[in-house]
Each structure stands twice: as structure tokens, then as C-alpha cells.
Amino acid sequence: MHAVPESYARAVEDGRYHDAATDAALRARWHQRKDTLARALLVLAAAHHHIQQGNPEGARLNFGRAVRYLEREPCDPYAARLIEHARQALAALQDGRAPPPLPLGFR
């Protein structure tokens, strides 16, 4: 299982998606190691931030971007869970419902 930085997890749990989308630890993982899962988590948080700001189109674009990143992680169960989350969120947006919470693992 991938370790989600505590700072990111706390921001998501508190609904501070802008903070999660700019999390320094995940940004470092993305820039230093080109960790696509880290990048996808940042983009998913950005999608949730767009929802909070009343920008469903921005959210839709970011959910789609996250799926493209996550599809680069073959046979990764957490990536598969996040892809499912993005798809459920897109369906919820289309139906005018709130998206499901962003999963921070297999809790």
C-alpha cells in the first residue's frame, strides 16, 4: 500500500482540498520521482476543490486527468480504487449529486 502523507490525509479529512492539492510532500514525490500516483492524488484533491468552489467543469476535467495518470499504474489496487472514485464522482456530478469522499486507502 502506498503511504499518503499525513499532511495530505489531514487536509482531505478536514475538507481543505486546496491545501491537499498543493501538499508539499506529494509535490516533492511527483517532481523528484515522477510518482504518478502522487500526481493523481494532487489532481483529485484539485477536483474536489473545484467542486467546493462551484466549478463542476473544472472538477470534471481534473477527475479525467487523474484517471489518465492512474492508468499508468498497472495492477496497483490503490490506483484502481482511485479510478473508481473518479468515475463515481463524475457520475455524481452528472446527476447533480455530491461526489463520494476521496479515499485515503482501503479503510
- CA trace torsion 22, 24, 25, 30 (10° rounding): 70
Report the predicted TM-score, pTM, of the whole model to 2 decimal places.
0.93
Q: Determine the Cα–Cα distance for residues 34 and 41; give it in Å rounded to an integer.
A: 13
Distinct helix (H) and strand (E) counts, the chain: 6, 0
CA 7 to chain centre: 14
Of 46, 24, 26, give the one whose Cα is nearest residue 36.
26
Q: Over the stretch 13-61, which tens digit does the pLDDT of each residue have?
A: 999 999 999 999 999 999 999 999 999 999 999 999 999 999 999 999 9
Of 72, 14, 7, 15, give the one whose Cα is nearest residue 80.
72
